[in-house]
Structure 1
Amino acid sequence: MGANSRKKVLVCCGTGCLANNSLEIYTGLKSKVLAASVAVSVEPIIKATGCNGFCEKGPIVKIMPDDISYYKVKPADVDEIFEKSIMADEVIDRLLYVDVATGKKVQSQNDNDFYKKQMKLALRNIGEIDPADIDDYIERLGYQALNKVLFAMTPAEVISEVVESGLRGRGGAGFPTGRKWKQCAGYDSFPKYVVCNGDEGDPGAFMDRSIMEGDPNSIIEGMLIAGYAIQSEMGYIYIRDEYSLAIKNLDIAITKAKERGFLGQNILGSGFNFDIQIVRGGGAFVCGESTALMASIEGNVGEPRAKYVRSVEKGLWGQPTILNNVETWANIPLIINNGSEWFRGIGTKGSTGTKVFSLVGKVKNTGLVEVPMGIPLRELIFGIGGGVIGNKKFKAVQSGGPSGGCIPESLLDLKVDFDTLAEAGSMMGSGGMIIMDERTCMVDVARYYVNFLAEESCGKCVPCREGLKRMLEILNDICNGEGQLGDIETLEEICSMTSEAALCGLGKSAPNPVVSTLKYFRDEYIAHIVDKKCPAGICKELTTFYIDQELCIGCGKCKRNCPAMAIEGEAKAFHTLDMQKCIKCGNCIDTCKFNAVKVGEEAI
């Protein structure tokens, strides 16, 4: 290490990496630095950061200013990293990222396809700062926007800037944020409240979680700006109780913000008062709905109410309230600092800015990505995501959470924005993207999401409570080989009724998984009902497997992975499968690299 250099080592300590012992890596590196007794002027700085995004390759260790990123780091690698890359300037090749397309090793994140095609706004600080250190946030222009609005802008000017930015709520519905603030500010009733929705309950979604864990001050600053704009003095952050690290880091951030004068009474000497309180949710999915969330904060059962009275007029305790999700709040300081015109120049005309997605499922590069609105699905899945695992055929992507829709391969060039996804029968939602391959049964997918929504329905209104229950019964029958002619029409009728008559957004959007799969994968429903077959080989009552003797080379992998010992055959000779023993787990077809295991009737 050069005499005038001081390295900074960033260790990802987001929830995913913590589960893979990243805290042990962080403490190990810190201990090594302390034991080395290096001069203070060159002593490496070791920081525990939030999620780096590339969850598939965690834990991640980044060394600056050398711009080296190491992936899948283990505690056993600590000594080598310290000696070679921290105390010296050597690169450890075996810990570098290997590019999926070229097979070449990549040293810098800027040269990594997963990162270089992103544009990080809401995620701008995550992986770069210690979320528990407010000075890290301040060094990256933190609380500069708050200072600007308090001493250089009127509340009306703040609202105008947010309106002009075109920012739409990132929690699901995509309602214009500035319009909501303007409406709330227009009501002359006090007190008013500012609420952050951190009750992220979608399967496969962890966007808000990562921001709360990795950059809590951006949320606090956004809420402060909104409080000033609508003349509110109290804010609430509603977080599901399972998010323990998010709660911990937000609590630390609130405490330190108060100590620095950014929260509390007479903020920065401006005369503006604002405080924030964390409220823990019990994990009910329906509490992600705005009015159910507010009922929960009030200490009542989390049930939605009819929307003929908007929350901006009568929300928490019957008072004017604005509610936005975590990602929306994280964008506010950027808009104030850089201006609405700058933000409007990113994305599309109707969907400005960027969007954070959790890219999960049957995709090679899983993790968090932030991209400009309007990016094609193909670029998101195959460019950043690296394509489908095992190079299997892409089948569909489910976007928007449990109430979203399934988009087929024929629409891979679809642009990802609020309006385009809605036209395709899906939705932006909070940003979950679940990739599915040829081994995914779309009828079973619809059943899974309807089952989830039926369990999470609060049961207050009949269309949602009974409609979902009946849809689930029909889907169960179809997957179990008991489907009947007319089931598809009955499903469509129930979907139409539920979407029209349900009380809240959960119920109204709940039919989307069924509607979209019927629209794009109707042939699979017909195969289940008429032919009594599951084309993907997932529904056990409708599935048989066989081994194509012309394609089988006798490698024995299917045999070794069969828990029922239903496969027989000698090495380098074709194998056979005994369907009398087969438990239809699908291990054989999933592990065969030669496409020799087939779904069909020719089993031996």
Structure 2
Amino acid sequence: MNKIVSFDNLKKLASELKPALELREHFTKENLVKRDILVCGGTGCSSSDSMQIIENLKSEIKKAGLEDHAEVQLTGCFGFCAKGPIVKVYPDNVFYVQVKPEDAEEIVQEHILNHRVVERLLFEEPALDNKKVERHDEMSFYKKQSRVALRNCGHINPENIDEYIGNDGYLALGKCISEMSPKDVISEVKASGLRGRGGAGFPTGVKWESTSQTPPCQKYVVCNADEGDPGAFMDRSVLEGDPHSVLEAMAICGYAIGSDTGYIYIRAEYPLAIERLKVAIAQAQESGVLGNNILGTDFNFNIELKYGAGAFVCGEGTALMHSIEGKRGEPRMKTYSSSKRGLWQSPTCLNNVETFANIPAILNKGASWFNSYGTEDSPGTKVFALGGKVNNVGLVEVPMGTTLREIVYEIGGGIPDNREFKAVQTGGPSGGCISAKNLDTPIDFKSLSSIGSMMGSGGMLVLDDSDCMVNIAKFFLEFTVEESCGKCTPCRIGNKRLLELLTKICDGKGCEQDLVDLKDLATTIKTTSLCGLGKCAPNPVLSTLEYFYDEYEAHVKEKKCPAGKCQSLLDYVITDACKGCTKCSKVCPVGCITGKPKEKHVIDSSKCLKCGACMSNCKFNAIIKK
């Protein structure tokens, strides 16, 4: 493409490119000239051969001589990860799910050549008695979603800057540096009420203002893309599906605070996101919207990638900045804010990926548009990685104030196998477990905090009645103990002692005093740790003690695990369904199963290792755990 040299040129180019993208969304017979076949190229679908699907579709189109009638496009995550790989055909707006490479021929021959929808690849909507639906907006998974941060994911090619510009990309940056002062930009961000989406929810505009008010000097803009929560993939998906939105927002932030240098700190284990960022940065520099003299003005802003090695603690702001500087990734005492002395002791503005992704939309559409979503305390939308025991696993974006029940049962499609909902963990290892009695809690910073959980970066793990809450708390403690940097004693030693207590209880060796010690120690760690990792590590313990104390008591008093998860508290028992086939005794590694052929066998519990080999090999389902 030609290098953009002014804001007027950018607006002209955007107006020329926009109609092609709008055609994707608006279908009439008159404008059906060429179809776009969009294929998800996010990590999830790529791991299920979506790149091969793209190649097969291109090959079939060429073979059928349909190059003038259809074009295959790579795009970002559609969000409905449970049904990937996903292929969407515009302008028909037909949404195909669980597509395989071998389906490419049928899609081209039936849909593109003969204008017939491939019925077998359509989604079956449980809410409509498994009726097949063509359009994504008819699916319960999408109906209550409002995409702001994810507005371009699944709609544009993340490796083509033309498509981003055609969807109002870089217009916000051009508007800021050509028509607004830095104070005007900050005022608009403050008026939007946008709060940081990385965990604590600090007001973004206030942070920008604080950094801007420091004396003129070298300042830095830093994007935290070190997304390390187990099961979280919100930021990674934005970078894979819409990297230019983050680059544009960082440049806007640089203009607002007086910085000419930005860093994106991203995990080296996210190769696809890194590759698309590299492509996007090169395209932005070539197009004149990044680098020196942006859009023909005297504003300069450059962005560099910095790679993390996978340390969870480097998601904490000060540890992240130490890592960028080449130091050990450890947090520091919060005696002063990073907006005053951050990276290399210079004023630094740090936001995470999702926070930045909202900025261009806010400046294009206005603060009042943004805070028309959400609640007074928490305006806008929030992206969640919905996972665990839920039918519709995926990436969802909903207005703040949406209830947990709406997300789990309407968007998520409820619990598989008709099991009962037990809890939802929000905020990853740093968050709390929310019980069924709080399912109608609206999702916003204040409401989640009031019930002992937190927004966090956006992980949302659904648990059912087969999950043991004591074991869940132990699982998250194992993670945080492993990821502790070891700098402060409460986190380094205290969390290990917490884990030892939980392990003791899960092994059936706990006593009632352990429950008292567990709460006292968790409270102490929470109030005395140096950084957010240590302060929030006890949250899963404290919240499960609050809402599931009866399970702890069962482990301690009755030496039983009500959910049947803690192996040490279970006994394998052979029921009357046993046919005496002897298969179980043959696979038992310690020979604790006895019995004659064609007679019921018996397990000696004192010798049993509880490995489960007998149960998994019994073809009569005669072995149970009690």
TM-score norm. by structure 2 comes to 0.89
Whole-angstrom CA distance in 2 between matches of 1:233 and 1:201: 28
**RMSD value over aligned CA atoms?**
2.8
**1:150 — aligned with what?**
177
Query: Is residue 51 of structure 1 aligned with residue 77 of structure 2?
Result: yes
Would you say how many aligned residue pairs link Structure 1 and Structure 2?
588
After the TM superposition, list the runs of 4 or more consecutive aligned residues in structure 1 that deviate by more than 4 angstroms. Answer: 1-4, 545-549, 562-568, 575-592, 595-599
Query: Is residue 99 of structure 1 aligned with residue 144 of structure 2?
Result: no
Residues 113-140 of structure 1: CA deviation (Å, up to 9, x unaligned): 1112211110011011111100111111
Residues 224-278 of structure 1: CA deviation (Å, up to 9, x unaligned): 1100000100000000010000000001000000000001111001110000000
**2:55 — aligned with what?**
27
1:103–1:477 CA distance, 2 compared to 1 (3 A): same
1:71 to 97, 103, 127: 97
**2:311 — aligned with what?**
284
1:256–1:567 CA distance, 2 compared to 1 (3 A): farther
Native 8 Å contact 2:509 2:556 kept in 1: yes
**2:12 — aligned with what?**
none
Whole-angstrom CA distance in 1 between matches of 2:282 and 2:479: 37
Native 8 Å contact 2:389 2:463 kept in 1: yes
1:449-468 to 2 correspondence within 5 Å?
A: 449-468=476-495
The runs of 5 or more residues in structure 1 that have no matched partner are 569-574
Whole-angstrom CA distance in 2 between matches of 1:148 and 1:287: 34
Whole-angstrom CA distance in 2 between matches of 1:17 and 1:567: 45
The one-letter code sitting in structure 1 at the alignment partner of 2:50 is S
Query: Is residue 331 of structure 1 aligned with residue 358 of structure 2?
Result: yes
CA shift, 1:391, in A, is 1.1
**1:444 — aligned with what?**
471
Whole-angstrom CA distance in 2 between matches of 1:3 and 1:151: 36
CA shift, 1:481, in A, is 1.1
Query: Is residue 526 of structure 1 aligned with residue 553 of structure 2?
Result: yes
Native 8 Å contact 2:40 2:50 kept in 1: yes
Whole-angstrom CA distance in 2 between matches of 1:170 and 1:596: 50
Native 8 Å contact 1:291 1:304 kept in 2: yes
Native 8 Å contact 1:537 1:544 kept in 2: no
The one-letter code sitting in structure 1 at the alignment partner of 2:90 is M
Native 8 Å contact 1:166 1:176 kept in 2: yes
CA shift, 1:38, in A, is 3.3
CA shift, 1:544, in A, is 3.0
**2:14 — aligned with what?**
none
Residues 194-231 of structure 1: CA deviation (Å, up to 9, x unaligned): 00000000001000000011100000011011000001
1:532–1:315 CA distance, 2 compared to 1 (3 A): same
1:387-406 to 2 correspondence within 5 Å?
A: 387-406=414-433
Residues 465-514 of structure 1: CA deviation (Å, up to 9, x unaligned): 01101101111111111112211111111111111111111111111010
Whole-angstrom CA distance in 2 between matches of 1:28 and 1:508: 51
Q: What SS does the aligned partner of 1:217 have? A: helix
The one-letter code sitting in structure 1 at the alignment partner of 2:563 is A
Native 8 Å contact 2:574 2:603 kept in 1: no
**1:572 — aligned with what?**
none
Whole-angstrom CA distance in 2 between matches of 1:419 and 1:548: 51
CA shift, 1:34, in A, is 2.5
1:343 to 370, 375, 381: 370
1:450-529 to 2 correspondence within 5 Å?
A: 450-529=477-556
TM-score norm. by structure 1 comes to 0.92
1:92-241 to 2 correspondence within 5 Å?
A: 92-101=118-127, 102-241=129-268
Native 8 Å contact 1:544 1:579 kept in 2: no
**1:571 — aligned with what?**
none
Query: Is residue 410 of structure 1 aligned with residue 473 of structure 2?
Result: no
The one-letter code sitting in structure 1 at the alignment partner of 2:83 is K
The one-letter code sitting in structure 1 at the alignment partner of 2:486 is G
Q: What SS does the aligned partner of 2:429 have? A: coil
Native 8 Å contact 2:572 2:603 kept in 1: no
Whole-angstrom CA distance in 1 between matches of 2:284 and 2:31: 36
Native 8 Å contact 2:587 2:614 kept in 1: no
The one-letter code sitting in structure 2 at the alignment partner of 1:184 is T
**1:363 — aligned with what?**
390
1:587–1:326 CA distance, 2 compared to 1 (3 A): farther
Whole-angstrom CA distance in 1 between matches of 2:212 and 2:466: 51
Whole-angstrom CA distance in 2 between matches of 1:461 and 1:544: 41
1:534-545 to 2 correspondence within 5 Å?
A: 534-544=561-571
Q: What SS does the aligned partner of 2:266 have? A: strand
Whole-angstrom CA distance in 1 between matches of 2:326 and 2:368: 41
Whole-angstrom CA distance in 2 between matches of 1:6 and 1:405: 50
The one-letter code sitting in structure 2 at the alignment partner of 1:356 is V
The one-letter code sitting in structure 1 at the alignment partner of 2:53 is I
CA shift, 1:189, in A, is 4.1
Native 8 Å contact 1:536 1:599 kept in 2: no
The one-letter code sitting in structure 1 at the alignment partner of 2:368 is E
Q: What SS does the aligned partner of 2:295 have? A: helix
1:267–1:105 CA distance, 2 compared to 1 (3 A): same
The one-letter code sitting in structure 1 at the alignment partner of 2:42 is G
The runs of 5 or more residues in structure 2 that have no matched partner are 1-28, 595-599
Whole-angstrom CA distance in 1 between matches of 2:490 and 2:352: 27
Native 8 Å contact 1:443 1:475 kept in 2: yes
CA shift, 1:35, in A, is 3.0
1:70–1:484 CA distance, 2 compared to 1 (3 A): same
1:5 to 33, 42, 49: 33
Native 8 Å contact 2:32 2:91 kept in 1: no
CA shift, 1:428, in A, is 0.2
Q: What SS does the aligned partner of 2:264 have? A: strand
CA shift, 1:184, in A, is 0.6
**1:84 — aligned with what?**
110
Whole-angstrom CA distance in 2 between matches of 1:103 and 1:596: 35
1:510–1:392 CA distance, 2 compared to 1 (3 A): same
Q: What SS does the aligned partner of 2:430 have? A: coil
CA shift, 1:564, in A, is 6.3
CA shift, 1:590, in A, is 11
**2:381 — aligned with what?**
354
1:536–1:597 CA distance, 2 compared to 1 (3 A): farther
Identity score, percent: 54
Q: What SS does the aligned partner of 2:395 have? A: strand
Whole-angstrom CA distance in 1 between matches of 2:92 and 2:588: 52
Whole-angstrom CA distance in 1 between matches of 2:119 and 2:81: 20
Whole-angstrom CA distance in 2 between matches of 1:59 and 1:591: 34
**2:271 — aligned with what?**
244
1:356–1:597 CA distance, 2 compared to 1 (3 A): farther
Whole-angstrom CA distance in 2 between matches of 1:373 and 1:363: 21
Whole-angstrom CA distance in 2 between matches of 1:588 and 1:134: 58
CA shift, 1:36, in A, is 3.0
